[in-house]
Chain A
């Protein structure tokens, strides 16, 4: 096994699955649980927001359908997460054409998954996102340190 694959296998986390079709939701949720993740299921964005606002739920990744009933669709939910909980990664799933461009604007690593989706592809995306968190945090930290140094020089 390659070293970077071994690193991916160590990653686990809590996934919030947002999907209004119960028979799709139960399959992907059960699959991800079998892969070792804690999975919280929400039927639509309003439920997802209740979970996201509860800090003890400690969500790492939101995996959401794009088209959902309720006050928000998947795009709006992703935008809410970006604004209010930027540490949480978002993966969008959907079949609408505009999803590709909109998802690439909203999500890390252009994380749009076309529906119907293969659970294994979803799992791969989640593992990659979680595995890349360390390096993204380090990049942010060095950028902040550089900004601090530059600021100190200017003053």
Chain B
């Protein structure tokens, strides 16, 4: 017996999407859940290489939130640079347990120290997304 679909997912949705890049699953889950609770669509990537596969696809992404230290060919800073080149209008937040260096200041829209102030991160994401929407008119 074939069961009728319980839902008809709108695969082409005009939803705001944030790409969260974090290699520690429980931190990634916590951040992603907090953003989803605000109605934001979240794509999760566990490292810079996965994130670049998303950014090089046609999947819409408006903001990239990435950890700096990650076990992949691309760390967070290299990812941020590549992301800026691939998607010039992308908003960018970087996070690290180390203090922000000068390279972060010239690259990211915001920096967060880890462990995360989750409320602060969510608020900053929302304000940057609002800026992006305003800029787009």
Q: How many residues of A contact B (CB 8 A)?
A: 29
Known contacts A43-B46, A51-B25; decide if A23 and B57 are in contact (CB<8 Å): yes
In residues 36-64 of chain B, which contact A (Cβ within 8 Å)?
Answer: 36, 41, 43-46, 50-51, 53-54, 57, 59
Contact with B along A38-57 (1 / 0, CB 8 A): 00111100010011001000
Contact mask for chain A residues 102-131; partner B; CB cutoff 8 A; 1 contact, 0 none = 000000000000000001100110011000
B26 touches A50 (CB 8 A): yes
Check A47 against B46 for contact (C-beta < 8 Å): yes
Q: In the complex, what distance in Å separates the CA atom of A20 from the CA atom of B44?
A: 12
Question: Which residue of chain B is the closest to A47 with respect to CB atoms?
Answer: B25
On whether A35 and B3 interact (CB within 8 A), knowing A42-B25, A51-B25, the answer reads no
Specify which chain A residues have a CB less than 8 angstroms from the CB of B29 in the assembled complex.
Answer: 40-41, 51
Q: B10–A50 contact, CB under 8 A?
A: no
Which size class do B's interface residues fall under? Answer: 20 to 34
Q: Smallest CB-CB separation from B53: which chain A residue?
A: A22
CB pair A5 B3 closer than 8 Å: yes
Interchain Cβ contacts within 8 Å, total number = 62
- Asked if B115 is at the interface (CB within 8 A of a chain A CB), the reply is no
CB distance from B50 to the nearest CB of A (A): 4
- A3 CB within 8 Å of chain B: no
B117 is an interface residue with CB less than 8 A from chain A = no
Report B8-50 CB contacts with A as 1/0, cut-off 8 Å.
Answer: 0111000000000000011001001000100001011110001
Determine whether the beta carbon of B5 is less than 8 Å from that of A123: yes
Residue A96 at the chain B interface, CB threshold 8 Å: no
B55 CB, min distance to chain A CBs, angstroms? 11
Report if A88 contacts B (CB, 8 A). Answer: no
- Complex contacts, A30 vs chain B, CB 8 Å: 9, 41
Pick from B3, B9, B26, B32: contact of A31, CB below 8 A: B9
Taking Cβ atoms with an 8 Å cutoff, the residues of B that contact A are: 2-7, 9-11, 25-26, 29, 32, 36, 41, 43-46, 50-51, 53-54, 57, 59
Given contacts A22-B46, A23-B57, A30-B41, 13 further A-B contacts (CB under 8 A): A5-B4, A22-B43, A23-B53, A26-B59, A34-B10, A35-B7, A36-B7, A40-B29, A43-B46, A47-B25, A51-B26, A119-B9, A124-B3
Interface set of A (CB-CB < 8 Å, partner B) = 1, 5, 8-9, 22-23, 25-26, 29-31, 33-36, 40-43, 47, 50-51, 54, 119-120, 123-124, 127-128
